[in-house]
Amino acid sequence: MTASDTIAATDLKGDLFAYALRLADDAAILGQRLGEWCGHAPTLEEDIGLANIALDHIGQARALYTHAAEIEGKGRNEDQLCFLRKEREFGNCLLVEQPNGDFAQTILRQLFFSAFMLPFWRKLMASQDATLAAIAAKAEKEATYHVRHSAEWTIRLGDGTVESHARAQEAVDILWPYTGELFEADDLVSRLVAAGIAVDPESLREEWRATLRQVFDEATLTLPPEGWFQTGGRSGLHSEGFGHLLTEMQYMQRAYPGMRW
Amino acid sequence: MTEKNTPLWEVFIRSRTGMAHRHCGSVHAADEEMALQAARDVYTRRGEGVSIWVVPSAAIVASDPSEKEEMFEPTASKIYRHPTFYEIPEEVGNM
């Protein structure tokens, strides 16, 4: 191995750590948001249904944090990465941290995200990083159900009553500006795509739009024009409620460092 | 949520291939697809199932509890109907 190879490998290690961490943060934060419904959902069935999806995401986050910690090799573990980093250190997209709002907002947030993640995981299954590929293979099955669950609800809310239609369309309009970030690829992602490790998000756009178009047609909802999109989550610039989310999520590890049960 | 908008559905789960579907509970849902998803979410969280049936509760015809005597009591004295006098070979498995 020449000196330049060593440098390249080291650089990629840093990239891979950051990439795994972003994916872990996406999953952890959405899992936390969905978990807020536990005991508060409109019906018992949906209370359990949303908690199931939350637990799928938390499971994905655990695997990804553990992988990130191993890549980093500094002795940190999944708990330290999830519960002891500060707001600006989180690289999740803004979509997943958006407040639950009403039930329609929670469902539309899930549809926007899962309709992206399903083809994402399918492509990541071919990653040169064997652990990411294995995590993707497990997550792909979960994402398939998440799309189904949120799509069926979107159809019924959109094509339901006058009020449910209005709320579903409002949810679409509120969340739409946060969907553009899903397709952002900075230099870090581009380097990992070139190395066959990461997925080029732009390659998922057509499938994402096709999924949404099909669901929205049936739901009689209107897909907004491309327009202007929010950005910042990947570089640690989060929305107003994010600090509150972390406060709740991280309380136990910060109050009782190293706590296990 | 009202019974009118989200009627009751009975849930049957088959735990393994070759076994019968067993009644395990009920869910409220607006239609059959939502009932199936609700049943999956509520009753198969611990790997219980490989197949789910949902049936509108209203479609079930039930015996009347007040007819218990005529329906079921005559069988109480016919213990010879119980197959307890046979040894079932282990290889037969579930019956």
Average confidence score pLDDT of chain A:
95
* Per-residue confidence (pLDDT) for residue A106, from 0 to 100: 98
Taking CA–CA distances from A53, the nearest residue in chain B reads B41
Does residue B67 sit within a domain?
Answer: yes
Contact A44 B42 (CB under 8 A): yes
Does residue A230 sit within a domain?
Answer: no
Q: Which of A42, A49, A156 minimises the CB distance to B41?
A: A49
Tell me the shortest Cα–Cα distance from B27 to chain A, in angstroms. Answer: 7
Range of the domain at A14: 8-224+238-255
When scoring B37, B45, B54 by the number of chain A Cβ atoms within 10 A, the one with the most, hence best to mutate, is B37
Whether ipTM > 0.90 holds is no
Judged against a pLDDT cut of 70, whether residue A101 lies above it is answered with: yes
Spatial strand order in the sheet of B8-14:
B22-28, B8-14, B51-56
Q: Does B37 touch chain A (CB under 8 A)?
A: yes
Does residue A82 sit within a domain?
Answer: yes
Q: Please state the domain count of chain A.
A: 1
Does residue B2 sit within a domain?
Answer: no
* Per-residue confidence (pLDDT) for residue A9, from 0 to 100: 62
Contact B1 A42 (CB under 8 A): yes
Contact A45 B38 (CB under 8 A): yes
Average confidence score pLDDT of chain B:
90
Judged against a pLDDT cut of 60, whether residue A1 lies above it is answered with: no
Does residue A138 sit within a domain?
Answer: yes
Contacts with A42 from chain B: Cβ below 8 Å: 1
Contacts with A215 from chain B: Cβ below 8 Å: none
Does residue B3 sit within a domain?
Answer: no
Q: Please state the domain count of chain B.
A: 1
A233 — pLDDT class (breaks 50, 70, 90): very high
Average pLDDT over residues B59-84: 89
* Per-residue confidence (pLDDT) for residue A11, from 0 to 100: 72
Does residue A233 sit within a domain?
Answer: no
Taking CA–CA distances from B35, the nearest residue in chain A reads A45
SS (H, E, C) chain A: CCHHHHHHHHHHHHHHHHHHHHHHHHHHHHHHHHHCCCCCCCCHHHHHHHHHHHHHHHHHHHHHHHHHHHHHCCCCCHHHHHHCCCHHHCCCCHHHHCCCCCHHHHHHHHHHHHHHHHHHHHHHCCCCCHHHHHHHHHHHHHHHHHHHHHHHHHHHHHCCCHHHHHHHHHHHHHHHHHCHHHHCCCHHHHHHHHCCCCCCHHHHHHHHHHHHHHHHHHHCCCCCCCCCCCCCHHHCCCCCCHHHHHHHHHHHHHHCCCCCC
Q: Does B14 touch chain A (CB under 8 A)?
A: no
Taking CA–CA distances from A153, the nearest residue in chain B reads B34
* Per-residue confidence (pLDDT) for residue A93, from 0 to 100: 98
A258 — pLDDT class (breaks 50, 70, 90): confident
A2 — pLDDT class (breaks 50, 70, 90): very low
Q: Does A59 touch chain B (CB under 8 A)?
A: no
Q: What is the CATH number of the domain that holds B69?
A: 3.10.20.520
Lowest-pLDDT range of A5-19, A199-213, B43-57: A5-19
Q: Does B25 touch chain A (CB under 8 A)?
A: no
Range of the domain at B88: 8-92
B78 — pLDDT class (breaks 50, 70, 90): confident
When scoring A34, A37, A45 by the number of chain B Cβ atoms within 10 A, the one with the most, hence best to mutate, is A45
Contact B30 A156 (CB under 8 A): yes
Q: What is the CATH number of the domain that holds A211?
A: 1.20.1260.10
